[in-house]
Chains A and B, each alone.
Chain A
Amino acid sequence: MKYAVLQAVLIAVIISASGCAHHNDRAAMDPRELNSSAESTDRVPSSEVSGKSSENQPVMFASSSTIERNLGETYKISQAVEMKSGFNDDDWEEEEWEQEEFTIADPLEPFNRAMFQFNDTLYFRVLKPVAQGYSKVVPKPARSGISHFFDNLKFPIRFVNNLLQANFKGACSELGRFTVNTLWGVGGFLDPASKKELAIPEYDADFGQTLGMYGFGPGFYIVWPGFGPSSARDTLEIGTNIFLNPVSYVDPGYISIAARAYEIVNDTSLRIGDYEILKEAAIDPYVSLRHAYIQYREEMIRQRKNPPKPGGIN
């Protein structure tokens, strides 16, 4: 009897110990997941893109990520580091899986804010009413067809920049899309290349992106009247876009300008409401747009440099 009780206690201890071991196993599995997910994020050394943000990162970020690199059993150490320096309310920026935040200098802020206001007024007083009237007359399928048509014409911009970026896959893909959409898409009004049967992926590319890929930083933020948010680097893109857009070569010149204006009205008619939401949701619309612009641009360039591996951990 006594022996049986002893045995029971012993087995209970063994079982609970194995239970703990089981838990430890799970804990030990997590860092591997963590590690592989960290790998799949393809973090670019921040100094490459913007030296500024890397300076702001506290030392803890570096130390923790070095530890993460030679993982194995170091999970516990990194956890200890986290606890010691406290993953507290202050450092969520430094969570090691977090992609760096892009920033842009804005020395022209007073001018930019004035231009932002100008564009805002231009949109609400001129562009929006015209686009609204236009969309009452022209049905949506026709408008998206026209939008496809103008996009198709801009093929040289995408093609040349894909080549400049040495993205031959992208260039071929865009060439394929242009051929298919011009021949079977009634001169580009339809988009058969995107249909399920073909599904040729788009590789949008522009000159600002190309420069970014070769290491040009965005410089400073600038808002152009009519064109909207841009950067010193992306401003160069306006010129090349005119140069590579067939619409610019339409003669006489006023027809070319009218075509551009028409394209803008048509595109706006398909996007009424987007800017309104941005403005409505923002506490400071100017800062919100600046932030969104630079994140979107720089992230696109980052992904071009290091294409993300498809899929994730499921």
Chain B
Amino acid sequence: MKTFFRIWYLYFFVTILILNAPLYAATPHEAAEEYVNKVMEVLGNKELGKEAKQERLEQLYPTMFAERELSRRSLGRGWEKLNPSQQKEFVNLFRQVLEKAYIDKILSYTDEKIEFTGTRNLNEDQSEVQTRVVTSSGRVPIDYRMIKIDDKWQIYDVIIENVSLIRNYRSQFRSILARDTPEELLEILRKKVKEK
């Protein structure tokens, strides 16, 4: 009987521990800060050449961004017009377009400081982390929209000076898909990625 009670108590405590253990999940702010720090680490690493830095950043990209979500929202209603394999190709091409456009700007980072100014919870699994980039010539507000996928916060939109990146792309894709087929859209992207 005594041993039974011992087991019973053990069971009791274990149950309480399991039920009340706070499930640790990073907040959107922590996730965003972690991403920014990782990028800064690569950029500040003086041992790395330009190419090596670029390679490291390209590796970081899929861990930071919810790529599929970003692509899906950029296409808006047009996403449904693409078949699954086209969607897959689109995600891939869109990533290359973004990398190609912004890599030089990011690599030329010199004296900018990033301040975290607040977080706005949008709903249970979406959140907006607000930051400010302070440069010698002024401040630029940059907000990151984050989404929780598999308990991990990832970026799906970047809002610079109140202009949303995905909304801007959506306006472009909308006007393209209004006259062209999805295949033609992919062709435009393929060309865009190839051109120097």
Taking Cβ atoms with an 8 Å cutoff, the residues of A that contact B are 1, 4, 8, 11-12, 15-16, 18-19, 22, 30, 33-34, 37, 40-41, 89-90, 92-93, 95, 97, 101, 144, 270, 273, 277, 280-284, 287-288, 290-292, 295-296, 299-300, 303, 311-314
Contact = CB atoms under 8 A, between A and B. Distances in A.
Which of B15, B79, B102, B172 has the largest number of chain A CB atoms within 10 A? Answer: B172
A277 B172 CA distance: 16
B168 A288 contact: yes
B6 to A, nearest CB: 12
A314 B33 CA distance: 14
> Is chain B's interface secondary structure helix, strand, loop, or mixed overall?
helix
Contacts of B167: 101, 291, 295
B122 A283 contact: no
A11 B19 contact: no
B86 interface: no
Contacts of B80: 89-90
A277 B105 contact: yes
Given A283-B188, A283-B189, A314-B29, A295 B164 contact: yes
B121 A34 contact: yes
B161 A12 contact: no
B12 interface: yes
A284 B172 contact: yes
B123 A287 contact: no
Interface of B: 1, 4-5, 8, 11-12, 15-16, 19-20, 29, 72-73, 76-77, 79-80, 97-98, 100-102, 105, 117-124, 126, 128, 130, 136-137, 161-164, 167-169, 171-173, 175-176, 188-189, 192
Given A93-B76, A280-B100, A283-B176, A314 B118 contact: yes
Given A30-B124, A312-B120, A296 B161 contact: yes
Contacts of B163: 291-292, 295-296, 299
Contacts of B76: 92-93
Nearest to A273: B105
Contact of A4 (B5, B121, B161, B192): B5
A314 B16 contact: no
- Interface residues of chain A: helix, strand, loop or mixed (majority): helix
B11 A8 contact: yes
A287 B169 CA distance: 9
B19 A19 contact: yes
Contact of A283 (B16, B123, B172): B172
B122 A312 contact: no
Nearest to B5: A4
Contacts of A283: 97, 169, 172-173, 176, 188-189, 192
A19 B123 CA distance: 23
A308 to B, nearest CB: 10
Contact of A22 (B11, B12, B19, B100): B19
A33 B121 contact: yes
Contacts of B72: 89
A92 B76 CA distance: 8
Given A15-B15, A314-B29, A281 B136 contact: no
A8 B6 CA distance: 12
Nearest to B188: A283
Contacts of B79: 89
Nearest to B100: A280
A287 B29 CA distance: 33
Contacts of A290: 171
Closest 9 CB pairs of A and B: A281-B101, A312-B118, A299-B162, A291-B171, A19-B19, A312-B120, A280-B101, A97-B122, A284-B172
A132 to B, nearest CB: 16
A291 B101 CA distance: 18
Given A1-B1, A291-B168, A281 B137 contact: no
A195 to B, nearest CB: 12
A290 B167 CA distance: 12
A295 B162 contact: yes
A30 B105 CA distance: 39
22 contacts: A4-B4, A12-B15, A34-B123, A41-B120, A89-B80, A93-B76, A144-B136, A144-B137, A273-B105, A283-B173, A283-B189, A287-B172, A288-B168, A288-B172, A295-B167, A296-B163, A303-B162, A311-B118, A312-B119, A313-B120, A314-B118, A314-B119
